[in-house]
Amino acid sequence: MEFDKAIFGDINLEKLKDLRNPFVEQIVDKYVKLCRPSKVTLITDSDEDIAYLKQKAIDDKEETPLKIVGHTIHFDGYYDQARDKENTKILIPKGETLSKYMNTADRDDSLEEIMGLLDGIMADREMLVSFFCLGPANSRFSIPSLQLTDSAYVAHSESILYRPGYGEFKNLNGSDNFFHFIHSSGKLDENKNSKNIDKRRIYMDIKEERVFSVNTQYAGNSVGLKKLALRLAINRANKEEWLCEHMLIMGAKPEGKDRTTYFAGAFPSACGKTSTAMIPGQLILGDDIAYIRKSNDGRAYAVNVEQGIFGIIEDVNPIDDPVIYKTITTPRELIVSNILVKDEIPYWLGMGKELPSNGVNFSGEWSLGNTDNEGKEILPAHKNARYTVRISELDNSDPKLHDPEGVPLSGIIYGGRDSDINPPVLQSLNWTHGVFVGATLESETTAATIGKQGVRKHNPMANLDFLVVNLGTYISNHLKFGESLEHLPLIFSTNYFLKDDEKFLNDKTDKKVWLMWMEGRVHNDYNAIKTPIGYIPLYDDVRSLFSHLFDKTLSEELYERLFSLRTEKLLSRMDRMEKIYGEEADIPQAIFDEINTQKERLLKAKSKYNKDIISPFDFD
C-alpha cells in the first residue's frame, strides 16, 4: 500500500510499517484519504511520542498549564459538556431490532451520513494515530484499540486513561482483532471549541467494531476507548460468554487480618460507586469498567480496562475525599476540565474553600452573576467538570492494577438508591438470585432532577445505558457465566440511602461497616439471617463492627429500622419488575421464576408474622 510521504514523513511511515498489519494500514489509509489531514503523526509507546502529545495540546491551546507542575486545564464548549445520549446511536442493519431502551439507527443511512461529515473534516489539521490496550498488557483479557483523532487533548487524555498499546499491536501478528475509533472535533470557534455541535454524532458500528465521533470535544463523547468501547466490548463479551460490566474493582482489607478480598461493584449514578471504591483503608483497582473471565481454577477474575480515572470533580474536598483531593492538588500529570481558573489556580464546586467572584471558566471570561443566552445563571464551574489522572498516582492504588492475570473476585455488589425499601446490605440466596438482584436494580432520582425527585428508575446491573445487545441476551449471559464457574463469587446489594422523617438513617462513612460484613461473609466469619429477599446481618455482628471501626454504638432500635422488611413496598417492586420484563423479548424464565418465588416468600412471611413491616428480630 502506497502512502503520501509528504503527509506522513519517513519516521511515521516506518512506525506504520513496523506493525506489519495490513488491517491497520487499510484503516489509516481510508480515513487519511477521507478526512484529508495535512499531516499524520503516529504515536507509539515511547516517552518522546507522549511528550509530543502533551506539548501539542498546549501549543494548539486545547490545554493550558496551571500553577501546579504537570497540571493543565481544558475547556469544552458551553453546550458540549456531557454525553450526548440523543445522538449516540447503535447502527443496526435493516430489519434488525434491539430493546426499546437502546437508541438505534439504520446502519447504511448512518454510515453514509457520517462519511459525509468526515469528508475533508481534518483539512489543514494534523491526524494523530494512537495505539492503546484495553486492559493490562500481555493479558488474555485485553483488547488492542486504535484511535484516529485531530484533537491532541483527546489523545493526551487517552494516554493517561489507558495503557500504551503499540507493542500490543505488534504482537497481533497481522490480525484484525482490535477495536478502532475515528474522532474529529470538527470546525473550531475562537475558543478552540467544536463549532458545529448541531452536527454532533456518536455512532457505534458493532458489525466492524468501530466508533465514529464528530463535532464534539467532551471526553465522554470523544474519548472512544471509554463508554463507547464499553459498548463494543459488551457485544463481544455476550458472543464469547464472558462479562463486560460497568463496575468498580476494589480490594477489601479487614483490620487485623492479613488478606485482601476482591469485589466488583455496579452502582447507577449517585448511588455511591466512587465513595465505595475509595473507602478509607481499602485498595482501588478501578472505578468504572471491568472485564470478567473464568480462569483455569474455576473462579471469576477481573481486570480494570483502564489505568486512569475520568472523575467528576464536584464535591471532591479534603474531608469527604482526602485521597483524591491530595492527588489532584499536588504535582503530577493531571488534566482538569470545565472548572474556574484565576491566576493559574483551579477552583471547583464543593472543594471546601471560597471561590473567586471572577476568572475564566467553560463560558470564557466569567464574573459572579453572569448569565447565558437563555438568561440562566452561569455557575463558576460546571457540575459535570472532571479530572483525569492515573490510578497509580493514588495512595490507595492496588499493586495488582496491571497484573495480566487479573484479581480473583470473591464478591459482586449491586448498589441501588431508595429511601424506603431495601436494607443497607443484603446477600443473595444463590447465583441465580444474585443475577435477579442485579437485574431488578433501581435508583431514585435526586433533587438535582427538577420536579422528578424520588422517581425510581430501573437500571439492570447499572449498565442499561450502554447495552448493545437485547436485555434478555445480556441477563442470560450472566446466568450462563455463573453456571461455568466452580467457585462462585457471592452477590450482594447495598442501599446507603434509607430515610426516616426525611433524614438519612446512615452516615456517609457507615458503608465501611457493610463492606466489612460482606468481606467477612466471604470468609464465613459471620452467620446471617435468612429472609425472603436474602441474607441480612445479625445485630451482634454489625454492632461489633460499628464499635471496632468507628467506636460507635449501634442501638437495637436503629438496627431494627435499618433491616426490617417492608413487605408491601417489596411486593410493589416485584409487580414493577414483572411488568417491565413482561414487555421484553427473550427474557430467561429464571427471572420470572425469581419474581414469583420472591412474591411467594414475602406473602408467606407477611401471613406468618401478621404484619407489613417485619423486624429482623422476628425471623427464626
Q: Which of 228, 150, 215 is nearest to 187 (CA)?
A: 215
Going by their DSSP bridges, the two strands 261-266 and 248-252 should be labelled as antiparallel
CA dist., res. 289 & res. 226, Å (int): 8
Cell readout for 261 is: 478480598
Contact assessment for residue 187 and residue 178, using Cβ atoms and an 8 Å cutoff: no
Residue pair 104/94 in contact by the 8 Å Cβ criterion: no
Of all residues in the chain, what percent are helix, strand and coil, respectively (each to 5)? Answer: 35, 25, 40
244 is catalytic: no
Write out the three cell numbers for 135: 486492559
Give the per-residue SS3 of 294-308: ECCCCEEEEEECCCE
Q: Which residue, among 370, 333, 366, 323, has the nearest Cα to 347 in the 3D structure?
A: 366
Terminal alpha carbon distance of the chain: 75
Q: Residue 192 contacts by C-beta under 8 Å, 6 or more apart in sequence? A: 60, 61, 62
Element (H, E) at 466: none
Can you tell me the distance from the alpha carbon of 587 to that of 577, in angstroms, rounded to the nearest whole number? 12
Cell triple for 250: 476494589
The x, y and z cell numbers of residue 190, run together, are 475562537
Q: Could you give the C-alpha distances from 267 to 124, 164, 276, 460, in angstroms and in order?
A: 44, 28, 10, 10
Cell numbers 431514585 label which residue? 444
Instruction: Indicate which residue of 35, 133, 244, 271 is catalytic.
Output: 271
Grid look-up 470468609 returns 523
Place of cell 411467594: 600
**Buried b / exposed e along 550-574 (16+ C-beta atoms within 10 A):** eeeebeeeebeebbbbbbeebeebb
Q: Residue 7 burial by CB count (10 A; 0-12/13-18/19+): exposed, middle or buried? A: middle
- Give catalytic residues, as residue numbers: 271
